[in-house]
């Protein structure tokens, strides 16, 4: 039987021959090595590229509070990364301006439609998808200062004179007379 010392390692082919003589297979042909290389390649492709989706909302004047689907996103101009395309409910508020309510559709670009979107997600570089919405706020009319109503002196009702011409009595006729219980 031959030993390793009989074949000095001169080049790569010699190492493969010497390994074959010892009964082992070369590392590049083992199924574990092939599978691990394929998994490494696939994971590198999946981690390296993706679509970066961002939405920027600007207002004139800046500094307004921006709500998307009833969640505060910040003061304008605000940029955030979104995950879903579709309809969004936009509400913008700022003191001294009328509240702005809008219902807006955020559409996907054609290169992100099915089935092309899978290929775009697997590309080895990031693809930007940026959207910008701009709004102009209308100043609100100042509310009038409330004025309290004027207080007028109480109106005195004239006392009705009796029909027989006598002077009205100052006794209160509505006061009931005591009832004599002995009768």
Closest CA to 130 of 77, 28, 53: 53
- 58 lies in the same domain as 123: yes
Based on C-alpha coordinates, what's the Rg of the chain?
Answer: 46
Are the C-beta atoms of 61 and 138 separated by less than 8 Å? Answer: no
Same domain assignment for residues 59 and 75: yes
**Single pTM value for the model:** 0.53
| Category of 30 on φ-ψ map: left (φ > 0), alpha (ψ -120 to 50) or beta | beta
Half-sphere exposure of 163 (CA within 13 A, CB side): 0
Verify that 77 and 110 share a domain, yes or no: yes
pLDDT (tens digit per residue) in 151-160: 887 777 766 6
**Per residue in 39-72, pLDDT tens?**
777 666 556 567 889 999 999 999 999 999 999 9
- Domain check: are 26 and 83 in the same one? no
Residue 170 placed within a domain: no
**Nearest alpha-carbon partner for 17 in 31, 35, 4:** 4
Examine residue 160 and state whether it is found in any structural domain, yes or no.
no
On whether both 57 and 124 belong to a single domain, the answer is yes
105 domain-assigned: yes
Report yes or no on 144 lying in a domain.
no
């Amino acid at each position: 039987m031959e030993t390793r010392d009989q074949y000095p390692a001169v080049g790569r082919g010699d190492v493969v021959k010497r390994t074959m003589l010892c009964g082992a297979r070369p590392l590049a042909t083992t199924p574990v090595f092939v599978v691990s290389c394929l998994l490494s390649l696939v994971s590198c492709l999946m981690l390296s590229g993706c679509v970066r989706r961002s939405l920027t909302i600007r207002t004139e004047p800046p500094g307004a509070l921006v709500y998307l689907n009833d969640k505060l996103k910040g003061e304008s101009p605000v940029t955030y990364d979104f995950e879903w395309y579709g309809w969004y409910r936009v509400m913008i508020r700022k003191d001294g301006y009328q509240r702005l309510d809008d219902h807006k559709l955020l559409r996907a670009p054609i290169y992100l439609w099915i089935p092309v979107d899978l290929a775009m997600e697997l590309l080895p570089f990031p693809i930007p998808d940026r959207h910008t919405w701009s709004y102009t706020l209308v100043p609100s009319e100042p509310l009038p200062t409330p004025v309290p109503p004027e207080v007028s002196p109480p109106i005195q009702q004239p006392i009705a004179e009796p029909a027989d011409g006598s002077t009205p009595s100052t006794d209160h006729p509505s006061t009931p007379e005591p009832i004599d219980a002995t009768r």
